Chain A
Amino acid sequence: MEAVPGVGGDSPVLLLDDVHKIYNPGPLQVHVLKGVSMAVEQGDYVAIMGHSGSGKSTMLNILGCLDIPTAGRYLISGVDVSELDQNQLAEVRNRYLGFVYQSFNLVKRTSAQANVELPLVYAGVPKAERRRRALTALGLVGLGERTHHMPNELSGGQQQRVAIARAIVTGPSVVLGDEPTGNLDPTSTAEVLQIFGQLNAAGRTVVLITHETEVADHAKRVVVLTDGRISSDVRNAPVQGEPPNLIDLTGAEPREAEEAIA
């Protein structure tokens, strides 16, 4: 496996250290995370489960540098994100993290290819190179034929695959999923999980939140969050190697395509 840029040798790629998150500080405050500590090593595949209101979305937003902890530390590859300014956080999101949302969050009236190119635009990648990498990423998720379609011309499963292509186009070391299969039918769910499995098998760290055990069954490690605290943390497979239940639907060879992106 090739080295993922920006990731140090010993420190875990993601480290939450006694993280608290409080919304609306004051008399009406909501204490969402009440001291969460978790280390994620490079190459792991973590599913975070919990009921709604358990704080799992907040936790993922903090992992994705979209939100900041009220207290506690969050380190990416040993770097404390609280020491980074707005633009540095934007750079971290751009280079080291890929985010996949339940509601796809594609930019409207913008073709699949242009959506996938967006992170590269913000990374300052030249146009020809952007196009090449976007087409490679779309090929990897099996959408090489639909690059010029607008989001509203694509099915949910296709939109989510565009979103995944967009998340991995910069070659991030960590891919985060916020219930990425929540809005999908079983067939699309299987496709999306296959892609996540392949990404992990190729060395990407994957963290996703879900409330479906069928989804969590594909992860190497399952963390359960209850009322803002980790109530269970179970390892189902070793950090290195293929994730459990890796499905091969298409017979594609994702690793080669994956390497072409990185």
Chain B
Amino acid sequence: MTPDSLRVALRGILANRMRSTLTMLGILIGTAAVILLVAVGAGISNQVQGQIGKLGTNAVYVLNEKNAGGQDRGGTNARQIKLTRADVKALSDPGRAPSVKIVSPITSTAGTVTWGGTTYSLGSFIGAEPVFGEIRNIRVQKGRWFNDGDQAGRAKVAAIGLTVVDHIFGKGVNPVGQTIQFNQVPFQIVGVLDRRGSNGLQDQDDVIFAPMSTVIDNVVGPIDSFTAIGVQAVSQNRITAAVTEINTTLRQTHNIRAGDPPDFKVFNAADLLAAGKATARSFRTLLAIVAGITLLIGGIGVMNIMLVTVTERTREIGIRKSLGAFTSDIMLQFLAEAVLLAGLGGVLGSVTGVLLGQLRIAAVQPIVSPGTVGLSFGVSVLIGVFFGAYPASRAAALTPIEALRYE
């Protein structure tokens, strides 16, 4: 494509500004729709993944059946249902559960936090081992997560969620180094956690984490019953194996006979994630199809206008041929015009799509990927070639005398 043919094409487009603008608008909307809808799809997918991913992608949780199902097993109280240190130990044994990488007991307590004159009724005060940070995929925004030294030294340190920070210290205040009281026990804040948002049931930032040893010593007392056990599988594709091993191991430690229902529940974040991802993927495909159809309609608009243009300029085609234009010259001229029309629409559509992609749409933050922008611009140019080819070849096939006689 030479600068000459592009200049001629541009002149053709400018000759009918209104018509060219409307045609470009078709491509513009199509391209923007592709970018935006794919971005919304990616945003939804990301949101689902983010929500579930916050549980830790390789994480498996063991809960009391009572906690999980919300009901007692009924009938007998003969056996106490609990998750014990023995369970944690059994799960940590590579001989019994080789697919398990890390295990941490978890206790959860409710209570009141005070600092200075402020009192706050906390959602959950969680005691866990330092490795729990890894299981739950915890990110620290300021300061640090507690470590093995804190656990060994029974240090009264805590990592604190943003909701708690906002209520006690106020928004934007850095509380690291301050000492708060939880149920009259002082804890020094060593870290502030990243915002996780709501998991749909509870605010995941309304939380304080402290080392398990400290919590047992100072908050819950010397118990041998945990709220839950957090487990991390060796890898993502060993999660299913880990779940099986946990079930087998705990049935043994809890002395459950074959055929009896278990008194615990194994809860797998990866399964939820997979289901959520699959839903998001179908949704994304649907959006992409809708967007693709929009772009196709834009392409038909280009073809329609190019056919009109060729008819209108039949005489010009005759003149050019009589002056020695080759069939290929004419073909190229109209093809250049169609491609330019679609390409300009594609550029404007890409810009529009990227700009709109910065907005939150229906509580979803779209994620614009450079790949989609490149692809949809490329497709709009290809649409120019594809839908311009027929009108252009029709123009080129005219004999000079037919074209010159056309009124």
Contacts and interface: CB of A to CB of B under 8 A. Distances in A.
Given A108-B316, A109-B11, A66 B400 contact: yes
Contacts of B326: 86-87, 90, 122
Given A66-B401, A67-B401, A110 B324 contact: no
Contacts of A110: 11
B18 to A, nearest CB: 15
A94 B324 contact: yes
B147 to A, nearest CB: 73
A105 B400 contact: no
Interface in B1-58: 4, 11, 15
A243 interface: no
Interface string B329-343: 100000000000000
Contact of A105 (B319, B325, B327): B319
B15 A109 contact: yes
A90 B401 CA distance: 12
Given A66-B404, A109-B11, A121-B4, A95 B322 contact: no
Contact of A95 (B315, B316, B324, B329): B324
A122 B321 CA distance: 9
B154 interface: no
A119 B401 contact: no
Nearest to A89: B400
The binding surface of chain B is classed by DSSP as: helix
Contact of A118 (B15, B315, B320): B320
A171 to B, nearest CB: 13
Contacts of A108: 15, 316
A121 B320 CA distance: 10
Contacts of A106: 319
B323 interface: yes
A66 B322 contact: yes
A166 B15 contact: no
B323 A61 contact: no
Nearest to B8: A110
A80 B397 CA distance: 23
A161 interface: no
Contacts of A105: 315, 318-319, 322, 404
A119 B11 contact: no
Give the 3 A-B residue pairs with the shortest CB-CB distance, closest first: A94-B324, A122-B324, A119-B323
Interface of A: 61, 64, 66-67, 86-87, 90-91, 93-95, 99, 101, 105-110, 118-119, 121-123, 166, 170
